[in-house]
Amino acid sequence: MKIFLIPFFLFYLTFFSSAQENDTLRIHSQKKAHPEQNPKLAGWLSAALPGAGQIYNRKIWKVAILYAGVAGIVYSITFNNKYYHEFTNAYKVRIDEDSLTFDIFDPEYAGGSDIKYTVENLVTLKEYYLRNRDLTIIIAFGVYFSNILDAIVDAHLMQMELNNDLLLSIEPRLNWYYSGVNINPTIGLGFKLDF
């Protein structure tokens, strides 16, 4: 019975007895980082010219990431479109039943490409590059709308009040676990959020 009274006694000592009162006078230093930012204007700027909203929000480093992504998307669209048209034309020439026309992938054609494809291979490759091109176009629209959303959200976040009292502390913790017979130590992490 005495072992059960010890935690209650320690709880009472830590929470109900104190030598000093807490300071009740707090001065809150709140300020706005960029109060002149307009989220609607940032969104319209990014819609008109991708990256302009990020420049307006003074996040120029995001423009480099955006245009690197746009360059990759443009390359992917042109690459897939080129091969889609190449295999589509080869398929059309192959099925026209004209003995005078050859495509470069025809096994009976001596010149052209070293790689030879059957009609089924041409259809599969044509559909593959068409699907990749269309998927890349959908991704391009996603990047465009993400650019606009990023500019709007960033402008909203810049208008938020900054409070220096916000604190997240992560520290190692040593807890005591009572297993019925023994008191065992356990080690873990403690997260504390003050605001």
pLDDT of residue 101: 74
Closest alpha carbon to 105 in 92, 122, 129, 128? 122
Backbone dihedral angles phi then psi of residue 161, each to the nearest 5 degrees: -75, 135
pLDDT of residue 151: 95
pLDDT of residue 193: 79
Closest alpha carbon to 125 in 88, 76, 162? 88
Q: Which residues of 85-103 are buried (b: 16+ CB within 10 A; e: fewer)?
A: ebbbebbebbeeeeeeebb
pLDDT of residue 3: 56
The CA-CA-CA angle for residues 114, 90, 136, to 5°, reads: 95
Each of the 195 residues of the chain gets a pLDDT tens digit; together they read 555 555 555 444 444 455 555 555 555 555 555 557 899 999 999 999 999 999 999 999 999 999 999 999 999 999 999 999 999 998 988 888 777 777 777 766 656 566 778 889 999 999 999 999 999 999 999 999 999 999 999 999 888 776 667 777 888 888 887 777 888 888 888 888 776
| Chain centre to alpha carbon of residue 174 | 36
Q: What is the dihedral of CA 11, 12, 14, 16, to 10 degrees?
A: 140
* CA–CA dist 58, 155 (Å, integer): 10
Closest alpha carbon to 118 in 107, 129, 127? 107
pLDDT of residue 61: 93
**What are the Cα distances from residue 61, in Å, to 71, 98, 122, 157, 194?**
16, 57, 43, 17, 31
- The residue extents of the domains of the chain are 30-162
